[in-house]
Amino acid sequence: MSDTELLPARKPLDQDWLKLLNYSFTLAFVSIFVSLTNMPVRFDTRMIIEPVFSMGYLSLFWLPVLLGFLVTRETVLEGIASHKKGFREVFAGAFVGVVGGGGLSLLVYLLDNFNVRDPLVNWSPQLRDLLSFQRSNVFGFVIWPVIGLILGSLGGSVHVVSTRFRRIVTWALLAVIGFAVFETVLLDLSEGFAWLGAEWLTDELYFIRGGLTMHGAVILAVLGGLFAAFGHGSTRRVKENFTALESTQRTRANIVILLLSAAALVVLPLFLGGITNELLANVGLFVLLALGLNIVVGLAGILDLGYVAFFAIGGYSAALITTTNRADSWPSWVPALTKAQVAETWWIPSVYWLVALIAVVLFAALAGLFIGAPVIRMRGDYLAIVTLGFGEIIRLMFQSDWLGGYTGAAQGVTNIPGFQIFNVATIKGTDPRAVFYLVLFFCVIAIYVSWRLERSRLGRAWMAIREDESVAEAMGIDTVKAKLMAFVVGAVLASFSGAILAAKVGSVFPTSFEILVSIVILVVVIVGGMGNIVGVIVGALVLIGILGGPTQPGLLAEFSEYKLLIYGVLLIVMMLKRPEGLVPNVRRTRELHQDEYLQDAWLKGEIDTDSDDEETALTATASPPNMGTQPA
Amino acid sequence: MPPPVHVKSQTVRRRTGVDIFLLIMKVAMSGFVILGFLMFIGQQIDPNNFIASRINPDATGLTAAQFEGLIISGLSQGAMYGLIALGYSMVYGVLGFINFAHGEVFMVGAMTGMITSNKFDDAGLWESNFLLSLAIVLLIAIICSTLTAVTMERVAYRRLRGSPRLIPLITSIGVSFFLQNVSIALLGPRAKTYPALPDWLSKKRELLGFISIDGPRLLVLIVATVAMLALWFLIEKTRTGKAMRAVAEDKEIASLMGINVNRTIVTTFAVGGAMAGVAGILWGLLFRSVTAVTGFLPGIKAFSAAVVGGIGNMGGAMAGGVTLGGAESVAPLVLLEPWGINGVSQLKDAVAFLVLIFVLLVKPTGLFGERLSSEDRA
* Domain residue ranges of chain A, discontinuous segments joined by +: 1-160, 163-244, 260-590, 593-629
Q: Is the pLDDT of residue A567 over 70?
A: yes
- Residue A304 CB neighbours (<10 A): 33
Q: What is the pLDDT of residues B274-315, one digit of tens each?
A: 999 999 999 998 888 899 888 888 999 999 899 888 887 888
- The confidence score (pLDDT) of residue A607 equals 64
Q: What is the mean pLDDT of chain A?
A: 81
Residue range A116-120: average pLDDT? 83
Residue of A nearest to B300 (CA): A385
Q: Is the pLDDT of residue A624 over 50?
A: no
- The confidence score (pLDDT) of residue B377 equals 46
Closest approach of chain A CAs to the CA of B84, in angstroms?
16
d(CA B375, CA B357): 24
Residue A257: what residue type? I
Residue range A37-64: average pLDDT? 84
Residue range B253-280: average pLDDT? 92
- The confidence score (pLDDT) of residue B277 equals 93
Burial (CB count <10 Å: 0-12, 13-18, 19+), residue A230: exposed
pTM of the model: 0.88
Contact residues on chain B for A120, CB-CB shorter than 8 A: 186-187
Do B169 and A119 count as a contact with CB atoms less than 8 A apart? Answer: no
CB pairs under 8 A between A and B: 160
Residue range B78-96: average pLDDT? 88
Q: Where exactly are the structural domains of chain B?
A: 75-295
d(CA A155, CA A133): 23
* B91 against A420, higher pLDDT: B91
Q: Which of A565, A570, A595, A597 to mutate to test the interface with B (most CBs of B within 10 A)?
A: A565
Residue range A88-96: average pLDDT? 88
Q: What are residue A75's phi and psi, to 5 degrees?
A: -80, 125
Do B177 and A379 count as a contact with CB atoms less than 8 A apart? Answer: no
Q: Which of A366, A402, A463 to mutate to test the interface with B (most CBs of B within 10 A)?
A: A402
Q: CA nearest B295: which of B178, B208, B209?
A: B178
Residue range B204-221: average pLDDT? 79
Q: Is the pLDDT of residue B179 over 50?
A: yes
* A210 against A139, higher pLDDT: A139
* Buried residues in B116-136 as b, exposed as e (16+ CB within 10 A): bbbbbeeeeebeeeeeebbee
% of chain A at pLDDT higher than 70? 87
Q: Is the pLDDT of residue B60 over 80?
A: no
Residue range A526-543: average pLDDT? 89
* A613 against A262, higher pLDDT: A262
d(CA A178, CA A563): 18
Q: Is the pLDDT of residue A85 over 70?
A: yes
Residue range A584-592: average pLDDT? 77
Do B356 and A568 count as a contact with CB atoms less than 8 A apart? Answer: no
Q: How many CA atoms lie within 13 A of A256 on its CB side?
A: 7
Residue range A5-27: average pLDDT? 83
Do B185 and A592 count as a contact with CB atoms less than 8 A apart? Answer: no
Q: CA nearest A575: which of B98, B265, B100, B157?
A: B157
Contact residues on chain B for A381, CB-CB shorter than 8 A: 97-98, 165-166, 169
- The confidence score (pLDDT) of residue A328 equals 53
Contact residues on chain A for B186, CB-CB shorter than 8 A: 36-37, 119-122
* B109 against A206, higher pLDDT: B109
Structure confidence at residue B270 as a pLDDT band (50, 70, 90) = very high
Q: ipTM value of the model?
A: 0.88
- The confidence score (pLDDT) of residue A347 equals 44
Q: Is the pLDDT of residue B77 over 80?
A: yes
Q: What is the pLDDT of residues A438-493, one digit of tens each?
A: 889 899 999 999 999 988 999 999 999 988 888 998 988 888 889 999 999 999 99
Residues written for chain A: 632
Q: What is the mean pLDDT of chain B?
A: 84
Residues written for chain B: 378
| Dihedral Cα A447, A452, A453, A459, nearest 10 deg | 130
Residue A464: what residue type? A
Contact residues on chain A for B195, CB-CB shorter than 8 A: none
- The confidence score (pLDDT) of residue A617 equals 42
DSSP string, B25-42: HHHHHHHHHHHHHHHHHH
Closest approach of chain A CAs to the CA of B339, in angstroms?
11
* A607 against A388, higher pLDDT: A388
* Cβ-Cβ contacts under 8 Å for B205 (sequence gap 6 or more): B212, B213, B214, B215, B218
d(CA A32, CA B180): 18
- The confidence score (pLDDT) of residue B371 equals 62
DSSP A611: S
* B86 against A327, higher pLDDT: B86
Do B356 and A386 count as a contact with CB atoms less than 8 A apart? Answer: yes
Residue range A388-412: average pLDDT? 82
Do A385 and B181 count as a contact with CB atoms less than 8 A apart? Answer: no
- The confidence score (pLDDT) of residue A1 equals 41
Q: CA nearest A96: which of A19, A159, A172?
A: A19
Contact residues on chain B for A569, CB-CB shorter than 8 A: 174, 178
Q: Are B171 and B160 in contact (CB under 8 A)?
A: yes
* Cβ-Cβ contacts under 8 Å for A184 (sequence gap 6 or more): A275, A276, A555
Residue range A267-271: average pLDDT? 80
DSSP string, A332-361: TTS-HHHHHHTTT-TTSTTT-HHHHHHHHH
Residue of A nearest to B174 (CA): A568
Q: What is the pLDDT of residues A276-334, one digit of tens each?
A: 888 888 999 999 999 999 999 989 989 999 999 999 999 988 888 777 655 555 555 55
Q: CA nearest B368: which of B301, B299, B322?
A: B322
Q: How many CA atoms lie within 13 A of A578 on its CB side?
A: 13
Closest approach of chain A CAs to the CA of B346, in angstroms?
6
Closest approach of chain A CAs to the CA of B26, in angstroms?
10
Residue A41: what residue type? V
Structure confidence at residue A2 as a pLDDT band (50, 70, 90) = very low
Q: CA nearest A387: which of B360, B367, B94?
A: B360
- Residue A268 CB neighbours (<10 A): 15
Residue A309: what residue type? A
Q: Is the pLDDT of residue A379 over 80?
A: no
- Residue A498 CB neighbours (<10 A): 30
d(CA B282, CA B298): 13
Residue range A186-215: average pLDDT? 75
Q: What are residue B289's phi and psi, to 5 degrees?
A: -145, 130
d(CA B313, CA B231): 13
A525 interfaces chain B, CB cutoff of 8 Å? no
Q: What are residue A427's phi and psi, to 5 degrees?
A: -100, 115
- Whether the CA torsion A573, A575, A577, A583 is positive or negative: it is positive
A522 interfaces chain B, CB cutoff of 8 Å? yes
- The confidence score (pLDDT) of residue A488 equals 94
* Cβ-Cβ contacts under 8 Å for A563 (sequence gap 6 or more): A547, A548, A554
B204 in helix, strand or coil? Answer: strand
- Residue A70 CB neighbours (<10 A): 16
d(CA B163, CA A49): 44
Q: Are A292 and A494 in contact (CB under 8 A)?
A: yes
Angle at A414 between CA A412 and CA A418, to 5 degrees: 130
Least confident range from A620-629, B261-270, B347-356, B366-375: namely: A620-629
Q: What are residue A53's phi and psi, to 5 degrees?
A: -135, 120
Q: What is the pLDDT of residues A347-366, one digit of tens each?
A: 444 456 677 788 889 999 99
Residue of B nearest to A397 (CA): B347
Between strands B192-193 and A47-49, the pairing is unpaired
Do B169 and A303 count as a contact with CB atoms less than 8 A apart? Answer: yes
- The confidence score (pLDDT) of residue B9 equals 47
% of chain B at pLDDT higher than 70? 93
- The confidence score (pLDDT) of residue A269 equals 81
